[in-house]
Structure 1
Amino acid sequence: MRKIKYKKGRKVQPTFLEYTGSHKHVKTEMQLFVYDTNDLSEFASFNVSQLEHCLDSQKVNWLNIHGLNDIELIAAVGEFLGVDHFMLGDILNTTKRTKLEEYHDILFFNIKSLLPVENSDNIHVEQISFLLKDGILISFQEKRSDFFTHIRERIRTHSGIVRDKKADYLLYLLLDAIMENFYLTIENEEDRVEALMDLSKTSTKPQILEQIEKHRDNFNFLKRSIIPLRDSLYSIKSIKDDNVFNAIEQENYSFFSRLHQKCLELLEQIEYDLISLDSASNFYFSAQNNKMNEVMKTLTVVSVFFMPLTFIVGVYGMNFDNMPELHWKYGYFIILGFMFLLLLGMIYYFKKKKWY
């Protein structure tokens, strides 16, 4: 179970910036795309002081930052854009839940990117944040990854309509790419759950129940990650006519509505998968009960077979003097034969009644 770690330092110094993620060894790097329909400029190596000369207010500017360890660089970018200090804190604090807010003319959006860990039942979590202001979109990633590789190629090759749209459409594309990771994670979990379903019908190993509970935790964590994203996207969808989010153009609200619909589909699928896990648990406990019933049935049958034999042995074990059978020459063999025939008769009777 994943728990939120409380940072006492933030209570003492509310404006203190600190990266709380696990990728503390990743070097902070920046990549900038400046484009419109006819032109594209790409910058891979520059510093914050050069940022103002690289940007073009007449074009779309996408600044992608990999690694959040250079606090001074993050703070400098925030100061350049006029970002509130608490927004920067939310970018660096990876324990924050997904949220959307607009402060003055800056739209802030952060989201959890989830991917399955190879050869493991764990889920890799990375927080990705976005700032959108006046045709400038800044994305913050904890480490370099290939989530947005296909979007970069579409920008470079002028594929689709991305070069014809504004920065808010680019934000939609980036969010959509991250949500694809949810599908991959759920698909991976479903494959493992399907294998558990088959295994739970035939095996009663306690490790099966442990794996079922592990995947239940994974699905609940997925659910907890998607619900705030759904709520954030719904807020965009529901107030599109109130001009609340000025950074998003009216004609692009429909794209964010599609993302909201995807969230609903993902949550429905997760609910179905949780029900499947309940079925797997029921299969497991049913197999346990069936196994126990078979064991008890076998022990009961064996006990019943030996009950009359034990009675006979107990009777002739009393050694009274007036027991004439004790002095018979062939009494021992007669009693043994009788006991053997009695046992065969009981076996035949039980078999005929299909009691075992």
Structure 2
Amino acid sequence: MKIVFFDTDRITRDYLHDKKMCDCDVIYLENSIENTDPETYEKIKDAEAISVFVHTAAKMNAETLDKYPKLRLIATRSTGIDHIDLEYCKKRGIEVVHVPKYGEATVAEYTFGLLLNLSRKIIEARNDMKNASVHINDYLGFDLYDHTIGIIGTGAIGRHVAKLARGFGMHVLAYDLYPNEEFQRIYNIHYVSLDELYAQSDIITLHAPSTKDNHHMLNDAAFAKMKDGVIIINTARGDLIDTESLYKHIVTGKVAGAGLDVLENEDFLLHDDIIIKDQDIGLDFAMNTIANSKLLQHKRVIITPHIGFNSIDAVHRILNTTIKNIEAFFAGKTQNSVLGVKK
């Protein structure tokens, strides 16, 4: 059996090199699946399992996966699965497994890294120091203590953010479709409606998955309900925020700052080798791309390239779970399935 790992960096290859995976032929490729050259493709086209990363520029859909006729398993090294066409996989009988839990502390800590950089203007001060142009009064920040943070989504990451916030002495509001009553009681957080969260929060941080129902949940109507000078943090999914609307409210000062580890259409910023087909280009895409570019240049916005997960500890947990997922599948004991394909 042949397993191909795409999107591997040196850390991934070094860590996996001596790992045995069900006595399979394992191939590690640095490139993403869509950048496979013809010679390499001939060596891997009979793969029964592939492992990809959430940063892959290609959508795991029919166009991509039809090239692998023997494929039985996609093991994504991520919690998110929105880069995979699940309906196509279900039709073809391809199992999809993911890493449901690896880094709630990792992403939560990164969330506060973004927040502290904004609240204390650390990057701005550092850049001015480098340029020998320091103006102390420009770096007046605010304490997190006694401020109110609103957490949208209280899954594993959102709950860990709440724990850290309580450690900073913050008041914690939360919104979730399925409130965790025990967590609310133990950590003294308060579940409220979205409108209440918007109106009462000094900081709003997103920790929800991307669905058709919450697409652009932070839009003109939502921003209008927020406090003047609100801080926005997003380490979840880019399309939760209407980028054009966010930029507009940054400019007016309604939003005092934003820390974004994810952006809508971020692939086109992360991968400069993507070829855009004519039919993919529309007014919405063009306007979003312009807004992203403007946000990148704004001094009250911090944008990072989707690295909230990226600590050595979390990466090792991801890889260990991926190995176990692959081994379990080929042993007939599938775990962490998102489809439950019957074999």
Instruction: Indicate whether the TM-score tops 0.5.
Output: no
TM-score (norm 2): 0.24
TM-score (norm 1): 0.23
- Which structure features the higher share of helix residues? 1
* Bigger relative CO (Cα 8 Å, ≥ 6 apart): 2
> Which structure has the larger Rg?
1
